[in-house]
Structure 1
Amino acid sequence: MSKTFIIEAVMLAVHGQLMLPAKPVTYVIPYTTIQELYELQTSTVPIMMDEEDDGFVKTLITELIQFFEEPFNKKKIEKALTMPWGKSPPLPINDNVTLCIVNSIDNEAYGELFDPIETELIMAGIREKAVLLTDQLDFIDRVINGGVPVETVDVEDFDFILDDDLQV
C-alpha cells in the first residue's frame, strides 16, 4: 500500500532520493509549487551552494516541468484546476512514485505564522490526512510550536518513515 506525503515540487528535484523510495509512495503537490519551478528554472539565484549541484538540480527542475507539460499529464492537472481543492488523477513517475496535483487554496488560516505556500502545504496535509515532508527545519518548528494539526517530517528522515513499523 502506498504512503501519502504532502511536498513541494522543488523538493523532488533537490532531494533525488525521494524519486527512488524502497516502497510505493504518493506525493501530493500543491499546484502553486509547480508554478514556482518555472521561477526557479529561470532564476540566476543559486538553489544549491555547490555550482555543480545547482546545475544538476536545475536540470531536474527542467525535467519535472517537461513531465508536467506532457499533454496527458497537463490534461490531468488542468482537470484538478477546475475547482478549489480539486485533485488530479494519479501521475505515475515510476513503479514506486505517483504524483497527485492539488489545487490548494491559501485561506489565511495560518497567515500570521506561515507564508502562502506553507499555508497551502499545511491545509493540504490536513485535508489529505497526510504527512508533510520538508527540508526546512524552521518550518517544522513553527508547525510544532503553533500547534498546527499536521504531522511534519524532515526529508532526512524519509527512509525511516517508510519503515513498516512506523505509522504515518
Structure 2
Amino acid sequence: MPRRFIIEAVMLAIYGEITAPAAPVEYIVPYPTIMELYEFQNSPEPLMSDPDDDLYVKSKINELIAYLEEPLNRKKLERALSIPWSKSPSILLGNSVSLTIVNALDNEQYGEFLDPIETVMVLSSLKDTTPILTDQPELISRIIEAEIPVQIFSIQDFHYAMEAGILDSEQT
C-alpha cells in the first residue's frame, strides 16, 4: 500500500524529487490547489527568488497543468467536482506516484489561523486522517499553535515521512 500525503499541487512542480520516490506514494491534492496552479501560471510575480529557478518552476507548472488537462485526466478530475468532498479516480504521475484530487471546500473553520488553501489542506487531512506535506514552516507553526490534530511533515523530511513506522491513514 502506498504512503499517502495531502499536498498542494504547486509542490509537485517545485519539488521534483517527491515525484520520484523510492516507494509508492499517493498524493491527495485538494482541488483549490489545482486552481491555484492557473493563478501561478498567469501571475507576473516570481515564485522563486532566482530567475532561472522561477522559469524552471513555471515550466513545470505548465507541464502539470497540461497533464491534468489531457482528456482522460480531465475526465477523472471532473468526476470529483460533482459532489463536495468526493475524490477523483487515481491519476498516475509516474511509476510509483498517483494523484487523487479531492473536491475540498473551505468552511472557514480555521479562518483566524489559516488562509483558505491552508484550511482545505487541514480539512482534507482531518477527513482522510492523512499527513500533510508542506514547505511552509509558518503553516506548521500555526497548526501546532492552534492545536489542530493533524500530522504534518516538512517537505525536507519527505524521506523520513516515507519510512516505515510513520503513521499513515491505515494506522491512525
Which range, TM-score by smaller chain? over 0.9
Q: Which residue of 1 aligns with 2:154?
A: 154
Q: Secondary structure at the match of 2:87?
A: coil
The alpha-carbon deviation at position 57 of structure 1 amounts to: 0.3
Q: What residue identity is the alignment partner of 2:16?
A: G
String of CA shifts for 1:17-62, please: whole Å, max 9, x gaps: 1111111000000111111111111111110111111110000000
Q: Secondary structure at the match of 1:94?
A: coil
Q: Which residue of 2 aligns with 1:115?
A: 115
Q: What residue identity is the alignment partner of 2:70?
A: E
Provide the rounded CA distance (Å) in 1 between the counterparts of 2:13 and 2:46. 14
Q: Which residue of 2 aligns with 1:41?
A: 41
Pairwise CA RMSD: 0.8
Q: What residue identity is the alignment partner of 1:145?
A: E
Once the two structures are superposed, the pairs formed by residues 83-102 of structure 1 within 5 Å of their partners are 83-102=83-102
Q: Which residue of 2 aligns with 1:145?
A: 145
Q: Secondary structure at the match of 2:29?
A: strand
Q: Which residue of 1 aligns with 2:29?
A: 29
Q: What residue identity is the alignment partner of 1:164?
A: A
Q: What residue identity is the alignment partner of 2:148?
A: V
Provide the rounded CA distance (Å) in 2 between the counterparts of 1:134 and 1:158. 9
Unaligned runs of 5+ in 1: none
Which consecutive aligned stretches of 4+ in structure 1 deviate over 2 angstroms post-superposition?
Answer: 165-168
TM-score normalised to structure 2 length: 0.95
String of CA shifts for 1:58-89, please: whole Å, max 9, x gaps: 00000000011000010011010000001000
String of CA shifts for 1:67-117, please: whole Å, max 9, x gaps: 110000100110100000010000011111000000001111111111111
Q: Which residue of 1 aligns with 2:134?
A: 134
Q: Which residue of 2 aligns with 1:56?
A: 56
TM-score normalised to structure 1 length: 0.98
Provide the rounded CA distance (Å) in 1 between the counterparts of 2:139 and 2:154. 10
